[in-house]
Structure 1
Amino acid sequence: MPSWGEHPSLIPPLDFSFCRIGSIEGGAANSTAPRRPRAPPAPPGPAPQQQQPGGAGGLPPALEQLLVVPAQLRWLDLSFNRLTTIDPVLTTLRALQSLQLHGNGIGSLAEVDKLGVLLRLRRLTLHGNPMEEQRGYRSYVLSLLPHLTSLDFTGVTRQDRQDAATTRAQRGKKKGGAQGRGTGCQAPAPR
């Protein structure tokens, strides 16, 4: 039988929620080891030392220590930390299907643009971040990530898809104008 890291369907979820992480690459004071809810029981003996995301070296080395093939990680929970941006290192995790970033301090909707490369992402949580207060938040996120089936623990509806298509079309018009030329996606103005 293959071990946890040898077969993609056996990759365990990693739960770094409530670890006081302020940045994935920067320091994270008092962070704790990730919870692995579906991991098999550990063998008797001393627990292995695990590097923390946000500690010396950040998330990639921690994933390399925890998983045989980090690029196959499908579920990552970074909720209820102190993140203020979406670190580009998350875009290297192309197999991610579920990413939980709720309860952080991410203020700019433009940060979501970085997640556009995660084509397998189906479930995303961002509620509880300051960006959620901006007008058009849900439509903006879904216009950038049309493959999502769930946003903020709520299923994506037909109406959500229509609103996202309208937002996408509006962004396309702005992009073609003098203001938006060459700047990529523009987040809606705050309320």
Structure 2
Amino acid sequence: MFGSPVDFSFKELNTISDVLSEEANTVARPAKRDSEQKYISHSLRLSNNFIIELRGLMETLTATFSNPARLAWLDLSFNQIQHIDSALTQLKELRLLYLHGNQICKLSEVDKLALLPSLHTITLHGNPMVTEKDYRAHLIATIPHLKMIDFSAVTKQERELTAVWKKSRNPRKSPSHTKSN
């Protein structure tokens, strides 16, 4: 679906821009490159590194990929990421985002991802935030087009329960009536 991934897993990267000074892991079917030696791929693996933040993400993608705006699959699992950077919202074609095994504490961090119209699969298990009450309901309410959360399908019943949950959290205020003299 996305061609061969460009794989920078297990490279002991500390920052996203460290990709620029590393060679991708060799795989059975390496990603093709264009005439500028940029990768022609729609998927990137950066798992199992020491990345704390996503500063420089777009600059690194632009320097590494022939068409960074077409990135559809991003694996940032098993790093030390604490916040979901708004730079991810520039990846409008992102469909799969793996963030499991990081250090994201606040459930509200996922609110930024509501701007990704194609995002249908996300993993966040192994982050402190998953222990928050109504974790899945919050994700479904925030990103209603999700199909999979933590490798588990979002069911029709879950969507219906989330609609009720959301309505109970944001009840419509009854119209105010003013007294006339």
TM-score by length of 2: 0.71
Aligned equivalents of 1:79, 1:109: Cα separation in 2: 17
Match of 2:67 in 1: 69
Task: Quote how far apart the aligned CAs of 1:15 are.
Answer: 4.7
What are the residue-to-residue correspondences of 1:36-75 with 2, within 5 Å? 40=30, 58-75=56-73
Name the % identity. 39
Task: Quote how far apart the aligned CAs of 1:69 are.
Answer: 1.2
Which of 76, 79, 94 is matched with 1:78 structurally?
A: 76
- Which residue identity lines up with residue 30 of structure 2 in the other structure? P
Task: Quote how far apart the aligned CAs of 1:54 are.
Answer: 7.3
Aligned equivalents of 1:42, 1:14: Cα separation in 2: 9
Question: 3-state SS of the aligned residue for 1:170?
Answer: helix
Q: What CA RMSD, in Å, does the superposition of the two structures yield over aligned residues?
A: 3.6
Aligned equivalents of 2:168, 2:26: Cα separation in 1: 42
Aligned residues: 158
Task: Quote how far apart the aligned CAs of 1:84 are.
Answer: 0.2
1:115-148 superposed Cα distances (whole Å, 9 cap, x missing partner): 0010100110011000001111011111111101
Match of 1:156 in 2: 154
Task: Quote how far apart the aligned CAs of 1:162 are.
Answer: 1.7
Q: Is the 8 A contact 1:13 1:76 kept in 2?
A: no
Pair 1:109 & 2:99 matched: no
Task: Quote how far apart the aligned CAs of 1:37 are.
Answer: 6.0
Task: Quote how far apart the aligned CAs of 1:13 are.
Answer: 3.9
Task: Quote how far apart the aligned CAs of 1:82 are.
Answer: 0.6
Aligned equivalents of 2:11, 2:59: Cα separation in 1: 17
Match of 2:122 in 1: 124
Match of 2:42 in 1: none
Instruction: Tell me which stretches of 4 or more aligned residues in structure 1 moved more than 6 Å.
Output: 52-55
Task: Quote how far apart the aligned CAs of 1:11 are.
Answer: 5.7
- Find the structure with the greater CA-based Rg: 2
| Greater strand content | 2
1:88-125 superposed Cα distances (whole Å, 9 cap, x missing partner): 00000000010000000000000010000101001100
Distance 1:70 1:20, change over 3 A: same
Where does the alignment leave 5 or more consecutive residues of structure 2 unmatched? 39-45, 175-181
Q: Is the 8 A contact 2:52 2:79 kept in 1?
A: no
1:11-48 superposed Cα distances (whole Å, 9 cap, x missing partner): 65455555566665xx87xx9655586853679xxx99
Aligned equivalents of 2:116, 2:61: Cα separation in 1: 18
Question: 3-state SS of the aligned residue for 2:112?
Answer: helix
What are the residue-to-residue correspondences of 1:138-153 with 2, within 5 Å? 138-153=136-151
